[in-house]
Amino acid sequence: MSTGFLSREEIARLTARMLIEVRAVLFNAAEPFTLASGLKAPTYIDCRRLISFPRVRGTLMDFMVATVLRDAGFEAFDSVAGGETAGIPFAALVAERLGLPMTYVRKKPKGYGRNARIEGVMAEGDRVLLVEDLTTDGGSKLSFVDAIRDTGASCGHTAVIFYYDIFPETAERLDGHGVKLHHLCTWWDVLAEARAQGAFDTETLDGVEAFLRDPRGWQSAR
């Protein structure tokens, strides 16, 4: 892990640049994407692509570790957990850098054997960092956090590469559950970098910005 600590602004800009470069960012206002929530959006982010790009994934994991250490503390955690499935490889990379044990959390009990949601060793009293690829409105994080807390461990922090930052209820939902969110970049960072690079045409970017400023209104109109 690099011991250098870039500013949050530079981490956000470089993360956005890498996401665009590996084509993890998709914009299409004419034929909107269907999100996991079932709602439509002209934007889609595919962080799973990142695992196929060693230099990018390594740099982003250094960024994530630096962000967590700076914001949460250098001795704040006893283990790292990944959320099934996209969070698992990133949790493994973060755990390796931090020199900590790693587990992963299933979305639901597997239905046979131990019927477990936690895979790996998680001890009562452990302070667990939950790692995921992204968060939209924070909803899926709460289920993972609850599964971790059911073991007797604590989980007050989650770290993601990408945070939508367009739904005001997200921060309130996580704060109300006692969870602090750490992230590298948002749609606003990606939009700014896309404009700076000329990565998409102006009409597309203007349409994306209209969605970002009023996502619920944009979805209701369609």
The structural domains of the chain, ordered by start, are: 8-220 (3.40.50.2020)
- Token output for 153: 């461990």
pLDDT band at 108 (very low <50, low <70, confident <90, very high): confident
What would the pLDDT profile of 131-186 be if each residue is shown by its tens digit?
999 998 888 899 999 999 999 999 999 999 999 999 888 989 999 999 999 999 99
- Using the predicted structure, report yes or no on whether residue 1 has a pLDDT greater than 80: no
- Using the predicted structure, report yes or no on whether residue 4 has a pLDDT greater than 90: no
d(CA 31, CA 28): 6
pLDDT value for 121: 96
| Burial of 54: CB neighbours in 10 Å, binned 0-12, 13-18, 19+ | exposed
What would the pLDDT profile of 64-86 be if each residue is shown by its tens digit?
999 999 999 999 999 999 999 99
- Using the predicted structure, report yes or no on whether residue 95 has a pLDDT greater than 80: yes
